[in-house]
């Protein structure tokens, strides 16, 4: 072999290549801005607000915060909701979490806190967090505040008044038999009664959760969440209720492969474009609708949009006005620069910022901004919240993550095969997953 290179040179080149590869592999993705000597900080923020209107609201708020705090800049990373959970888990496990990141609270947050990567914000927020009311307490674990909510969520039926009128329905249903009768009327008028995003599984669980809320007493629900069990008989009864509701066949064709809020063919897209009359979803649905239909169409549709709470189940012993819900917020990672991170979370909950959040068709976490809720249907949600004495956090998030996903998967299986799946299967899946705790 003729070459001017010696083996030693080969070795040096090889070593350098290996070193370069390893360095590239081990390199940090550089999520954290951190402090610089000049006191300037850059906060990296991961959020699932990846589309307007909320994306625009957050961008406006970052700009105005930067204007009043010139030393604080932002790197905002919008991540699609369905992708978000896996990304933040990997970041937390790799000690590489962004400074601020979207958080859902409850058992979901409790599982994440085990990473030791989430900052206890109590020292920074205790002076003002009380303004948010009892909702903020759901973001505490053992008395320590690990996250701060920026909005509140309530699940209920969003419906199209124009399609209801077309089917001859004059008022939203108050009980399950009324809802089932409306389903029949809508079908007779050739209208898809209810759209559901079963591909994502969690929208299916809203139905089971609500039947459980109607069948179980508040004390039973609280004990079930605390002890991570669904062994109370009312949880099995919820399965039976779900089965009889599924027998009315209320959903769109091929609903098992419909996503919840991705694209115009999603369940949200169907309601937004008038292809379905109802959807059981969180109060954020109008903000999703806006992202899925042309702006001009949305403006004209707002008057057609209505909201009603999950109907009462006749004879069910639970609270007939209790709601299912939760809240969205943010946490700070341990490496986040302070006081900038906690101060920005406080800014997000200021009355002025919260009015912008309310303007994005979301329910503000700070009651001081409630008056800014403009959508008439959102006012119905607020009234229902005020009238309700109890809001059960979504069960799949209230329970630890593995139990929550087991619940979602079991309900999804039930949706796929309602006639052949046992009504006990959901309870069995929850209790089986709970033994893995």
Partner 1 sequence: MTELKGVTAAAGAPAAAVAPPASPAGRRHRPRRPRRQVVELVVLLGPALVLFASFVLLPICISAYYGLFNWTGYGPLSDFTGLHNYKLVLDDPVFRSSLLHNLIIAALSLVIQLPISIAIALLLNRRMRGGSFLRMAVFAPYVVSQATTAVLWLLLLQPGGFVDELMKAVGLGGLVQEWLANPTIVLYTMFVVLTWQFIGFGVILLLAGLQSIPAELREAAAIDGASAWQTTRRITLPLLGPTVRIWIFLSMIGSLQVFDLVWIMTLGGPANASSTMVTYMIFFGFHSLEFGYGSAAAVILFVISFVLAFLYQRFVLRRDTDGALTRAVR
Q: How far is the CB of 86 from partner 1 (least distance, A)?
A: 5
Least spacing, CB of residue 398 vs partner 1, in Å: 15
Please, what is the minimum distance in Å from the beta carbon of residue 436 to partner 1? 6
Beta strand residue intervals within 217-318, DSSP E:
276-282, 305-308
CA 55 from chain center: how many Å? 15
* CB-nearer residue toward partner 1: 57 or 426: 426
**Alpha carbons 132 and 137: distance in angstroms, whole number:** 9
Nearest distance, CB of residue 26 and partner 1, angstroms: 10
Cβ-based nearer residue to partner 1, 6 or 389: 6
In angstroms, give the least distance from the CB of 91 to partner 1: 11
Alpha carbons 137 and 393: distance in angstroms, whole number: 12
Min. distance of Cβ 136 from partner 1 in angstroms? Answer: 23
In whole angstroms, how close is the CB of 199 to partner 1 at the nearest point? 6
The contact set with partner 1 (CB under 8 A) reads 1, 7-8, 10-11, 14, 17-18, 21-22, 25, 85-86, 89, 92-93, 111-117, 198-201, 253-258, 265, 401-402, 405-406, 409, 412-413, 415-417, 421, 433, 436
User: Collapsing DSSP states into helix, strand and coil, what is residue 193?
Assistant: strand
Token duo for residue 285: 């649905």
Could you tell me the CA-to-CA distances from 197 to 270, 344, 375, 424 in Å, in that order?
A: 10, 34, 24, 23
Q: Which is nearer to partner 1, 201 or 281 (CB)?
A: 201
Cβ proximity to partner 1, 93 vs 231, nearer residue? 93
Least CB distance to partner 1 at residue 254 (A) = 4
425 close to 437: Cβ distance less than 8 angstroms? no
Q: Are strands 41-47 and 100-103 parallel, antiparallel or unpaired?
A: parallel
Which is closer to partner 1, CB of 42 or CB of 335? Answer: 335
- The residues near 312 (Cβ < 8 Å, ≥ 6 apart) are 174, 175, 176, 214, 320
Nearer to partner 1, 247 or 387 (CB): 247
Toward partner 1, which CB reaches closer, 92 or 357? Answer: 92
Q: Which is it for the CA torsion 241, 243, 246, 247, positive or negative? A: negative
Residue closer to partner 1 (CB basis): 165 or 247: 247
The C-alpha atoms of residue 233 and residue 398 are separated, in whole angstroms, by 19
Tell me whether the omega of the peptide bond preceding residue 53 falls within 30 degrees of 0, making it cis.
yes
Spell 406-432 as b/e; 16+ CB within 10 A means b. Answer: bbbbbbbbbbeebeebebeebbebbbe
CA proximity to 303, closest of 136, 140, 96, 162: 162
Q: Rank residues 41 and 430 by Cβ distance to partner 1 and give the closer one.
A: 430
- Angstrom distance (rounded) from CA 306 to CA 308: 7
Q: In angstroms, give the least distance from the CB of 5 to partner 1.
A: 10
């Amino acid at each position: 072999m003729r070459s001017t290179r010696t083996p030693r040179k080969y070795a040096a080149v090889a070593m350098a290549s290996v070193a370069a590869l390893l360095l590239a592999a081990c390199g940090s993705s550089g999520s954290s801005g951190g402090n610089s000597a000049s006191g300037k900080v850059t906060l990296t923020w991961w959020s699932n607000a990846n589309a307007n209107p909320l994306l625009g609201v957050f961008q406006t708020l970052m700009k105005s915060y930067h204007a009043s705090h010139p030393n604080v800049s932002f790197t905002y990373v919008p991540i699609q909701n369905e992708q978000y959970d896996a990304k933040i888990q990997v970041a937390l496990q790799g000690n590489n979490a962004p400074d601020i990141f979207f958080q859902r609270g409850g058992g979901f947050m409790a599982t994440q806190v085990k990473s030791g990567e989430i900052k206890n914000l109590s020292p920074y927020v205790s002076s003002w967090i009380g303004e948010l009311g009892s909702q903020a307490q759901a973001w505490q674990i053992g008395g320590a505040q690990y996250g701060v909510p920026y909005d509140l969520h309530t699940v209920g039926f969003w419906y199209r008044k124009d399609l209801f009128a077309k089917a001859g329905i004059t008022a939203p249903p108050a009980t399950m038999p009324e809802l089932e009768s409306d389903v029949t009327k809508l079908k007779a008028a050739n209208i898809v009664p209810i759209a559901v995003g079963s591909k994502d599984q969690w929208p299916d669980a809203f139905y089971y959760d609500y039947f459980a809320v109607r069948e179980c007493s508040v004390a039973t629900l609280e004990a079930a969440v605390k002890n991570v069990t669904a062994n109370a008989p009312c949880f099995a009864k919820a399965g039976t209720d779900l089965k009889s509701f599924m027998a009315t066949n209320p959903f769109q064709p091929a609903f098992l492969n419909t996503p919840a809020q991705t694209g115009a063919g999603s369940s949200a897209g169907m309601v937004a474009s008038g292809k379905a009359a109802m959807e059981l979803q969180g109060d954020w649905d109008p903000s999703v609708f806006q992202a899925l239909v042309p702006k001009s169409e949305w403006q004209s549709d707002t008057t057609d949009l209505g909201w009603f709470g999950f109907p009462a189940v006749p004879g069910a012993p639970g609270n007939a006005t209790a709601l299912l819900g939760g809240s969205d917020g943010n946490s700070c990672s341990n490496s986040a620069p302070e006081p900038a991170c906690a101060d920005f979370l406080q800014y997000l909950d200021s009355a002025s910022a919260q009015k912008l959040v309310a303007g994005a068709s979301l329910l503000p976490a700070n009651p001081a901004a409630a008056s800014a809720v403009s959508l008439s249907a959102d006012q119905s949600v607020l009234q229902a919240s005020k009238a309700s004495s109890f809001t059960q956090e979504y069960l799949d998030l209230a329970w630890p993550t593995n139990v929550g996903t087991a619940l979602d998967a079991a309900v999804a299986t039930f949706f796929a095969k309602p006639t052949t799946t046992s009504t006990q299967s959901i309870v069995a899946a929850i209790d089986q997953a709970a033994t893995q705790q």
